Amino acid sequence: YYLRRYMATSKSKKAKKSTEKPKNTNTKPEVTVVEEIVTVTEPEAIVIEETEVKMEENKKSKGIFSSFFAKKGDPEENILTIFKTPKIWGALVGELIGTMFITMLLLTLGIYQPLYILFGVIGVTLAVFTLSGAHLNPAITAGMMATRRVSAIRGVLYMVAQVVGAWLGLVIVNAFRMAGGTKVDLPALTAVETSNLWQLLTIEFLGVFTLAFFFNRAQEYKSRRSAFTYAAIIGGGMVLAVLFAIVVSSNFFKISNNFILNPAVAIMYQIFPTSAENFGTLISKVGLEVLVFILAPIVAGVLAFFIGDIATTLAGEDECCEKHHHCKDGHCHEK
């Protein structure tokens, strides 16, 4: 029994030794290399900085005037969407009432009272500033349309409201004049003739150009919601334009009452009352008046806005507004 047990134990030990791997002391231990993938998240500030650098590089590659003709007003505003909210009606009422007050100011105090014009324009501008931006002049609206600050449909509606407002102002002033029983006549503008055409064109053009340029520069303060600064710049431009027109007209051209600087007022005050002996003469007179008091101011307003935008782009002032403001409903708001 004991012999059989000893032999069985010896066989099991030999089998166990044969299954074990021999130890190799000369070989080095295996090293397992684990690749660790580390995901690094860049800070938000670095991402923003890289984005701005890319935008700046794209802007330089396209040129500094790449956004010159970009739409600066509400991109979604058109003839189908403008009447979906009542805001447009408030803007039109502001343009109508404001132009009415401006017309009454010009027809009562006259254009030869620059100090009264300054305070009057500032007051009216402050009153309608938040309603429509206080264009109050078709030449200004034309410049805003040309530089894509307002949509075409809004600009046309503004011009219609301005003409109606000028008509209401003229009606009110005439009503007071007739009710008073006096024979005081309103100041009449110098008749436009071929002999004085270029003088009248020059005065009207340069006067409206001055006003429109000041209005363009005031838009930079409109985005900062500084209403008084905005109105003061426009009022100062109006006074400078009037003073310039008065001095040049009286001292160099020896004429007076030859400018009005507002096509809406000119339509109601100068063009509609035009009369002549025959139809041919009437058409000729109206054509000259339209050239001087409507076409020349509108061209001057558009040109002044383009020059103002070019100066703004070259000075880099629009970059600040692009980074910190966005446009909505014709106004700039902080992002």
pLDDT at residue 46, rounded to an integer = 53
Residue 335 CA to residue 326 CA, distance in Å, equals: 6
- Least confident stretch, 159-168, 241-250, 259-268, 313-322: 313-322
Residue 236 CA to residue 147 CA, distance in Å, equals: 22
* pLDDT at residue 63 is higher than 60: no
pLDDT at residue 178, rounded to an integer = 78
* pLDDT at residue 34 is higher than 60: no
pLDDT at residue 196, rounded to an integer = 85
* pLDDT at residue 27 is higher than 70: no
User: Are residues 134 and 96 in contact, defined by beta-carbon separation less than 8 angstroms?
Assistant: no
Mean pLDDT of 99-119: 85
Mean pLDDT of 195-208: 91
Task: For 123-152, write each residue's pLDDT tens digit.
Answer: 999 999 888 888 999 999 999 999 989 989
pLDDT at residue 317, rounded to an integer = 62
Residue 167 CA to residue 186 CA, distance in Å, equals: 15
Kindly report the three-state secondary structure assignment for every residue of 89-139: HHHHHHHHHHHHHHHHHHHHCCCCCHHHHHHHHHHHHHHHHHHHCCCCCHH
Residue 191 phi, psi dihedral angles, 5° rounding: -65, 140
Paired with 327 in beta bridges are 332
Amino acid present at 199: Q
Between 114 and 164, residue with greater pLDDT: 164
Both tokens assigned to 24: 């190799």
Task: For 244-278, write each residue's pLDDT tens digit.
Answer: 888 888 888 888 778 889 999 988 888 887 777 88
Could you tell me which residues come within 8 angstroms of residue 120 by beta carbon, excluding any fewer than 6 positions away? 101, 102, 105, 109
Q: Which of 234, 256, 8 is nearest to 128 (CA)?
A: 234
Q: How confident is the model at residue 331 (pLDDT cuts 50, 70, 90)?
A: very low
- Least confident stretch, 162-166, 177-181, 282-286, 287-291: 177-181
Mean pLDDT of 160-171: 93
Between 39 and 13, residue with greater pLDDT: 13
Q: What is the pTM of this model?
A: 0.74
pLDDT at residue 47, rounded to an integer = 47
Residue 76 CA to residue 71 CA, distance in Å, equals: 10
Mean pLDDT of all residues belonging to the chain: 78
Both tokens assigned to 324: 């910190």
Q: How confident is the model at residue 117 (pLDDT cuts 50, 70, 90)?
A: confident
Q: Which of 174, 140, 132, 146 is nearest to 272 (CA)?
A: 174
pLDDT at residue 69, rounded to an integer = 63
